[in-house]
A and B are shown apart, each in its own frame.
Chain A
Amino acid sequence: MDSVSFLLVAVILTALAFDFTNGFHDTANSMATSIATGALSPRLAVLVAAVLNLAGAFLSTEVAKTISNGIVDDVKVSPVMIFAGLIGAILWNMITWLAGLPSSSSHALFGGLIGAVWVGAGESAVRFTAIVRKIVIPAVASPVVACVVAMLATYLAYVITHRAAAPAARKGFRAGQVGSASLVALAHGTNDAQKTMGVITLTLIAGGVLGHGSGPPWWVVLSAGLAISLGTYAGGWRVIRTMGKGLTDIQPPQGFAAETSATAVILASSHLGFPLSTTQVCTGSILGAGLGRRLAHVRWGIAGRIAVSWLLTLPAAAAVGGVAAWVAGQGNTGVALVAGVAVAAAVGFYVLSRRRPVNPDNVNEPGAPEPAGRTLDTTV
């Protein structure tokens, strides 16, 4: 019993830690363009996103079954594997945050779980066709869809308003952008906070604390909602800079077109029961907004680096999750060792980030020449 409760506490704390990294990694999705165009001040933007993420966590009481989701055989999943998968996801989120790359937190979570289950329960417990159908194809298609939609929307926005007085148009688009960005933040809260609630609930059921088929207890909803909104409020400024200023120079009409496209794609897909990554949709739509404005400059080097990080997300998180599952599978000492190494690594990444801090005050500055490149070189 003692070992079960120790493991249970470890999994819950790790799940909340993952939720926090999920929050600060994904602030950029909803708020990067609003911060870049000056529609919202950086500090106000993260506050709005945090409040809406918290609200989103409470709006939907439907338990997210995203975790089992058919990607791994959930009968064979043990709390140790969930713990190891979460560690893999957290570490990959920290690495990509340090490099300022918007990579998908959901993919990191899935990758970590796949690796952990593969090592813990064998290759047969991983359903590769389901992975291709539910993760790989959407991962390729969703940014392309968002990019094309945003490109057309941006083009139309500029054509229609090109004779309007510029200051009034700017003001109008900024206001509209705040609205559509808020919808992205709200949708994010209903999706991503649910994933953590699902993980914790599954663990509680597996540990015998909750009966089969029960929903998340109120304290799980509250703590998961708070973790993701605290993370959002902390603001992943490095990722925000890449998405708001790095990919292309966003102007108010582009920001509005990008956020509207992202909202439409996210809502359409979740309504049609099609899982996709908020991060990839938002990145695709920002790229499309850059292409849709004539003479706008898209930095393909940065776009390429983001694409590479997407390719690496599943295997990298899976590798870490697999190693963690093997070590943690040796017993409580193993679990403690994995937790210790993860905390040390997280502290290390934080210290590295202080060497070249990005914060609310300098997030809109272009930074040193090719900042993302150098950061990447020091980490990978």
Chain B
Amino acid sequence: MGTTWGTIGGVFGVSLGVTVLVVVLFSLGVTAWARAGGGTPRHGARRGRLDTVAAAAAVVCFAACLAIAAYGIELIIPG
């Protein structure tokens, strides 16, 4: 019985950590991406340096999420 609750605790800890990491990264990515114009160039306005930085930050965040997802796929495929 004790090991069962221990495993549940492990599942809880690991999934909480991973989920919070992915959701925070993705949310930051979305925020940065929205700041950079949401992928569509604004007409008439020149893209400032801040926009470029925001776009780069978004790319980094999304790439990190993709890497975690790739690790997830590797876990799904045994051996």
A interface with B by C-beta (< 8 Å): 56, 59-60, 62, 133, 137-138, 141-142, 145-146, 148-150, 152-153, 156-157, 160-161, 163-165, 167-169, 171-173, 176, 179-180, 183, 186-187, 190, 253, 256-257, 260-261, 263-265, 267-274
User: Would A183 and B27 be within 8 Å (CB), given that A190-B76, A264-B14 are in contact?
Assistant: no
Binary contact track B21-44/A, C-beta < 8 Å → 1, others 0: 011101111110111001100000
Give the residues from 56 to 79 in chain B that come closer than 8 angstroms, CB to CB, to chain A: 65, 69, 72-73, 75-79
Q: Do residues B39 and A260 form an inter-chain contact, with CB atoms below 8 A?
A: no
Asked if B50 is at the interface (CB within 8 A of a chain A CB), the reply is: no
Contact in complex: A164, B20 (CB < 8 Å): no
Q: How far is the CA of A138 from the CA of B78 in the complex (A)?
A: 22
Q: Are A267 and B28 in contact (CB under 8 A)?
A: no
Interface presence of B53 (CB below 8 A): no
The smallest C-beta distance from A362 to any residue of chain B, in angstroms, reads: 31
In Å, the complex CA distance between A157 and B27 comes to: 6
Q: A56-B76, A156-B23, A268-B15 are in contact. List 7 more A-B contacts (CB 8 A).
A: A59-B76, A137-B8, A161-B30, A183-B69, A183-B72, A190-B78, A260-B22
Cβ-defined contact, A172 with B30, below 8 A: yes
CA distance A165 to B31 in the complex (A): 8
Residues in B neighbouring A133, C-beta threshold 8 A: 1, 4
Contact of B31 among A56, A161, A167, A268 (CB under 8 A): A161
CB-defined A-B contacts under 8 Å, sample of 24: A59-B76, A59-B77, A62-B79, A145-B11, A148-B12, A156-B20, A157-B23, A169-B30, A169-B34, A171-B38, A172-B34, A180-B69, A183-B69, A186-B73, A190-B78, A257-B23, A260-B23, A264-B22, A265-B11, A267-B76, A268-B10, A270-B75, A272-B7, A274-B11
A263 touches B72 (CB 8 A): yes
Kindly state the separation between the CA atoms of A256 and B23 in the bound complex, as whole angstroms.
8
A176 to chain B, nearest CB (A): 5
CB A144 to nearest CB in B, in angstroms, measures: 9
Contact A145 to B24, CB < 8 A, known contacts A168-B39, A264-B14, A268-B14: no
Contact status of A160 and B24, CB under 8 A, knowing A172-B34, A264-B18: yes
In whole angstroms, how far apart are the Cα atoms of A148 and B29 in the complex?
Answer: 23
Contacts of B29 in A (CB 8 A): 172
Known: A161-B30, A183-B72. A152 touches B20 (CB 8 A): yes
Tell me whether A163 and B72 are in contact in the complex, defined as CB-CB below 8 angstroms, given that A60-B77, A260-B22, A261-B15 are known contacts: no
Which residues from chain A contact B23 at a C-beta distance below 8 Å?
153, 156-157, 256-257, 260
**B75 partner residues in chain A, CB cutoff 8 A:** 267, 270-271
Q: Cα distance A172–B36 when bound, in Å?
A: 13
Instruction: Determine whether the beta carbon of B76 is less than 8 Å from that of A264.
Output: no
A186 CA to B23 CA in the complex, in Å? 20
B45 within 8 A of A: no
Q: Closest approach, in angstroms, between the C-beta of B67 and any C-beta of chain A?
A: 12
Contact of B30 (CB < 8 Å), options: A59, A60, A173, A183: A173
Q: How distant is the Cα of A169 from the Cα of B38 in the complex, in angstroms?
A: 8
Given contacts A156-B27, A176-B65, A256-B23, contact A145 B15 (CB under 8 A): yes
**Using Cβ atoms and an 8 Å threshold, which residues of chain B touch A165?**
34, 38
Q: Which residue of chain A has its CB nearest to the CB of B79? A: A62
Interface centre among B28, B75, B76 (most CB of A within 10 A): B76
